[in-house]
Chains A and B, each alone.
Chain A
């Protein structure tokens, strides 16, 4: 082992049923560095971390930790912790009902002569830890009194105080705002100067360039390479992660926005509303058109979609579908009219983890047929295979449980579910949230392809550039009302202005 290396992983290999999750992956961590572990969803980042911390067992390879003779195999998180490898996960793993001091010390509390917990010492030590980190926290208060960001920092403080040599931060920033991220970075830099080796897993490219010294990139369970940050510009990093050139992304941007004014109107909403969530709005969607809804989070984008789909009951106005007036009281009515909705919260509303990919795909189709008219198995298999192929779901087999798939692939399964019902009108609410760049591009392409086949699509997204690439018309939402439509001059700047208010297309 080199002198300043704290952790080496060599030739780590592990397979999930049918999928090679890690294939001879190497990873090296040095003292006092912040090392980013990058890759698309499903590239094997989490699996590699889990092999290290003992949650997953690896089949081949060796792990060496500075100061420990021979190869190291951890069997649990605790095991890893004892060897100086601490992990802080995306969700805070502390007890909200205990005081900050206890959260820092539980499991290793200072004791008095009688073996009872020495509260005084515990509180004094905790306060010192917090003060050292410049955190203005009263350690006797319960953890739940503090913000998520502070809780995250306390979790890190706990990990670090256990004299860890290696600190793994698994997507710690996803729930933090900019200010809090800044604080976290300061803490990371301080630890770095104390010689701790930090593994930083994140989705945010700019954060990597803000704090990291080195980047290791994984793709499809294989090591792409280890780079110094200065030597790997952003575009090249993305290319390394995706395994293709960046130009691919730009390629799908259509040059001309097609003109739909003469096409058949599929959805014609006049004055629809739902009390408390969305004010009356008009919306026209033509056949084969992709209409985007833009606006800040909570501006009523999803709510508008829910009213059309009948998830929230419409209270005013009229809705015409294909020229005929439609009464939609519940989602099943909408489904029977050929609509489909891909909800934004796919964990809670979309996937059913313990069912197979096939079962998840045919779910909506089956629901429309009714509970007692079961689709014949041969038909189910045919449909599942057709859509696994059509939307390119990466799965070991059609019978794999959907929870074993990566986030992006789960999203594709839900998309396939609605495509299987052959809808005329599909609402996609944040279909690309939380999935990697490559899959995003695939989904965008798919949307355009579907539109080309004559389906109408409502596309809701927080990412403006993605909407600009796919939509021919944008509805602008603000404070629960549809405040405008943009059909011409679809540029980022123009859309931003419209969202912010004072847009000219009102």
Chain B
């Protein structure tokens, strides 16, 4: 039997192609500024490991036709909790990290309960969550704080996983070996696990069913409320893992941290082919969405002369492009019938 490429796969391919094109153009234009080095790509991963975790969770929630805009604030709260915990309360990350994860689960459970069992709009509930988490961040500590005294956490964060290839010699004559950090590994593991979960578990498929047609999902005997509840717990849990990654990368806590990260996560999911109306999407797409996001800001930074606002404008343009593309595909599909 011949396989037809359906429009969702095509959208994913377009996203991947766009990323490749963007990256290759970057390599050509900024070859002299070191864009071609493997490390440039790895830095995108290092700087966006937190976002990747969050985007995975966001995709799961968006599959059910929901949204979770509390994630940016939750990251800030996680980072602040970790930083203050280690610096002021002198607690070990061995205790703090599980605590952060538990906070994430509880946070998600409360939001999920309101959304699925009390049937309140996800936007409103998670907006309340957003304000709450941002406020709690300031309650924990109102100033910026750096993680500097905890040796274990510093050691973890500074581990370099080096690549046996792709090294180059810089202008000072020192050989640079490409590396990634441990939080990149964490984020990639999250990506793979969520991918497998969406494809091979009943919960994963239920997310698609709920987003496809909630009424039908009920009729087919799925527990829609429980599925939604789990989706929001998963989102906040993955967000907390993302918070840990984020903290490992920035080594600090601040009230202003991760402002607007939820929008980056939504943008990444949408660019990656997730529909806001639910039922369609995949974390592989979201991964490339995150990469595109990262590539744009790297390109702007590498240029050096452009204002960083240009990256927002570029993301905006891309979002428009993908949303229009999605609706054109939907139209074509309708007209075929």
Interface residue ranges, A against B (CB under 8 Å): 77-78, 81, 92-98, 102-103, 106-107, 109, 115-117, 119, 138, 140-142, 144-145, 147, 158
Q: Residue on A with the closest CB to B1?
A: A138
A504 to B205, CA, bound (A): 61
Segment among B40-48, B136-144, B209-217 that sits at the interface with chain A: B209-217
Q: Which A residues lie within 8 Å of B1 (CB)?
A: 138
B155 within 8 Å of A by Cβ?
Answer: no
Given contacts A81-B221, A107-B221, A109-B202, contact A97 B6 (CB under 8 A): no
Nearest-Cβ distance from residue A97 to partner chain B, whole angstroms: 4
A119 to B3, CA, bound (A): 16
B205 touches A106 (CB 8 A): yes
B220 within 8 Å of A by Cβ?
Answer: yes
B337 touches A96 (CB 8 A): no
Nearest-Cβ distance from residue B65 to partner chain A, whole angstroms: 11
Q: Residue on B with the closest CB to A78?
A: B221
Interface residue ranges, B against A (CB under 8 Å): 1, 3-4, 6, 196, 199-202, 205-206, 208-209, 211-213, 215-217, 219-222, 279-280, 333, 337
Nearest-Cβ distance from residue B336 to partner chain A, whole angstroms: 9
B280 touches A97 (CB 8 A): yes
B212 touches A97 (CB 8 A): yes
Q: Which B residues lie within 8 Å of A141 (CB)?
A: 4, 6
9 pairs from A and B in contact (CB 8 Å cutoff): A77-B219, A98-B212, A106-B222, A109-B205, A117-B199, A117-B201, A138-B1, A140-B3, A141-B6
Nearest-Cβ distance from residue B80 to partner chain A, whole angstroms: 38
A95 touches B221 (CB 8 A): no
Nearest-Cβ distance from residue A100 to partner chain B, whole angstroms: 13
A138 to B1, CA, bound (A): 8
B219 touches A95 (CB 8 A): no
A466 to B34, CA, bound (A): 81
B209 touches A117 (CB 8 A): no
A93 touches B6 (CB 8 A): no
Main secondary structure of the interface of A (DSSP, over half): loop
Q: Residue on B with the closest CB to A116?
A: B200
Q: Which A residues lie within 8 Å of B196 (CB)?
A: 116
A240 to B221, CA, bound (A): 38
Nearest-Cβ distance from residue A490 to partner chain B, whole angstroms: 38
Q: Which A residues lie within 8 Å of B211 (CB)?
A: 97
A95 touches B217 (CB 8 A): yes
Q: Residue on A with the closest CB to B204?
A: A117
Q: Which B residues lie within 8 Å of A103 (CB)?
A: 220
Given contacts A116-B201, A141-B4, A145-B6, contact A97 B222 (CB under 8 A): no
A78 to B219, CA, bound (A): 7
Q: Which A residues lie within 8 Å of B206 (CB)?
A: 106
Q: Which A residues lie within 8 Å of B208 (CB)?
A: 95, 97-98
A106 touches B220 (CB 8 A): yes
A94 touches B333 (CB 8 A): no
Q: Which B residues lie within 8 Å of A145 (CB)?
A: 4, 6
Q: Which B residues lie within 8 Å of A98 (CB)?
A: 205, 208-209, 212
* Other A-B pairs, 17, CB within 8 Å; known A92-B216, A97-B279: A94-B213, A94-B220, A95-B220, A97-B208, A98-B205, A98-B212, A102-B209, A106-B209, A107-B222, A109-B202, A115-B201, A116-B201, A117-B200, A117-B205, A119-B200, A141-B6, A145-B6
A142 to B219, CA, bound (A): 19
A93 to B333, CA, bound (A): 20
A103 to B221, CA, bound (A): 12
Q: Which A residues lie within 8 Å of B215 (CB)?
A: 93
